[in-house]
Amino acid sequence: MSSDGISIRCVVTSGANTAISGVATLNVDGTLPLVEGVNGSVNGNALFVKFSEAMNLDSIAADGNYKINGLDVLVATVLDAITVRLSTSQQLGGSAHTLTVNGVSDAAGNAIAPNTKVEFVTYSLVNGVVGMEIWKNIGGGAVADLRNNARYADAPDLDYAIATLDSTIILQGDTLNTFGGRFRTFLKPDTTGEYEFFLAGDDQAELRLSLDGSFDNIESPEANPPIAVLTAASAVFRDPGVNGSVSAPIALEAGVTYALQALWKESNGSEICKVGWRLVGDPTPALELPTIPSQFLSYYGPGGTTANVQTITAAGGQATITYTGTTLESSTDLVTWTVVTGATSPYTIAATGTRFYRAR
């Protein structure tokens, strides 16, 4: 804009009296807003769009201003002045799409360039990842306050793909209060043995482990009761017996995939949830334990390969399955699925009976 940066004064005259203001510099925003980034969702049902500057909130809240080839945009939710969450139809992991944006403008009224396009790839199952979800504006400090909220578990405000079970990777400085959080990850140990799990958090937290490698019944009180419960805030791991934040020893097998979930609820103060483990017999003190290393973890995040069964071939009375992903599961009824322990691609079995397979 030609007027940007000029200096002006205001002169006011009333009868014989004149008042002159100090010098002011005129700043005119003539810069068009841009889409600065697009991130996927660990749940495969949302997209987080970040703009280059503060936007007109009504314009970015209009779901009709966004189009994605191959996906439906269901709802646009404003998270802050530069970020919007687009709820979408269910995404296929690792698929390429183009987001087209029209009709949005910045706070000064500058419209984004027509048909602004950004390419992105949806999240897929990758190694070294934990899914972290946040539900804002939920009162109370008990895990039940999160679980009983109508928005849990299908409508988190934010989600992130992070490297380990440590909320402080994202939440720092005690700036977020009255929220609930959830970690989810697939856990695959490389050593068979009995493990203790350690839980730290604020205000309260619980930890669950599904031995069948599925999250389908992870919150069932009968099938998967909590293995560790924290009822009072603790920012560090405690030794067994101090409180309920340490599990009893649990037998795990090398190469088998397990499903691990932590919930925590924060009302005020620190925004901490961390999960560690220790092989029984390891002398490392609880206070010195790290969170579970990322090499044992996998979940949905950027940069991965779609988990799919690619081919099934039969020859000589055997069937050979090739697949991508970290886990192969089998079923006889397409309802109950069981992890195929120790399977790697290609996987060969005797070609007898009827059985279904899927990769994760």
Instruction: Please report the domains of the chain, with CATH numbers, ordered by start residue.
Output: 35-122 (2.60.40.1220), 127-301 (2.60.120.1560), 308-359 (no CATH)
Per-residue confidence (pLDDT) for residue 355, from 0 to 100: 86
Per-residue confidence (pLDDT) for residue 358, from 0 to 100: 84
**pLDDT over 50 (residue 1):** no
Tokens linked to 142 = 């008990």
Per-residue confidence (pLDDT) for residue 314, from 0 to 100: 81
Per-residue confidence (pLDDT) for residue 7, from 0 to 100: 65
Sheet strands side by side (includes 338-339): 338-339, 328-331, 356-359
Q: How far is CA 147 from CA 156, 205, 211, 340, 347, in A?
A: 12, 12, 22, 31, 39
Q: Which of 267-271, 299-303, 345-349 is the least confident region?
A: 267-271
**pLDDT over 50 (residue 28):** no
**pLDDT over 90 (residue 113):** yes
pLDDT, one tens digit per residue, over 14-27 is: 666 676 777 565 54
**pLDDT over 70 (residue 204):** yes
pLDDT, one tens digit per residue, over 122-163 is: 999 999 999 999 999 999 999 999 999 999 998 899 999 999
**pLDDT over 90 (residue 103):** yes
Percent of the chain, pLDDT > 70? 91
pLDDT, one tens digit per residue, over 229-277 is: 999 989 999 999 888 999 999 999 999 999 999 999 998 877 899 999 9
Per-residue confidence (pLDDT) for residue 274, from 0 to 100: 97
Per-residue confidence (pLDDT) for residue 352, from 0 to 100: 81
Q: What is the mean pLDDT of residues 79-87?
A: 96
Kind of pairing between the strands at 35-39 and 46-51? antiparallel
What value does the CA radius of gyration of the chain take, rounded to a whole number of Å?
A: 26
Mean pLDDT, the chain, as a whole number?
A: 90
Per-residue confidence (pLDDT) for residue 71, from 0 to 100: 97
3-state secondary structure the chain: CCCCCCEECCEEEECCEEEECCCEECCCCCCCCCEEEEECCCCCCEEEEEECCCECHHHHCCHHHEEECCECEEEEEEEECCEEEEEECCCCCCCEEEEEECCCEECCCCECCCCEEEEEECCEEEECCEEEEEECCCCCCCHHHHHCCCCCCCCCCEEEEECCCEHHHCCCCCCCCCEEEEEEEEECCCCCEEEEEEEEECCEEEEEEECCCCCCCCCCCCCCCCCEEECCCECCCCCCCCCCCECCCEEECCCCCEEEEEEEEECCCCCCEEEEEEECCCCCCHHHCCCCCHHHEEEEECCCCCCEEEEEEEECCEEEEEEECCCEEEECCCCCCEECCCCCCCEEEECCCCCEEEEC
Per-residue confidence (pLDDT) for residue 2, from 0 to 100: 44
When pLDDT is cut at 50, 70 and 90, the band that residue 304 belongs to is: low
Q: Which of 172-186, 269-283, 284-298, 322-336 is the least confident region?
A: 322-336
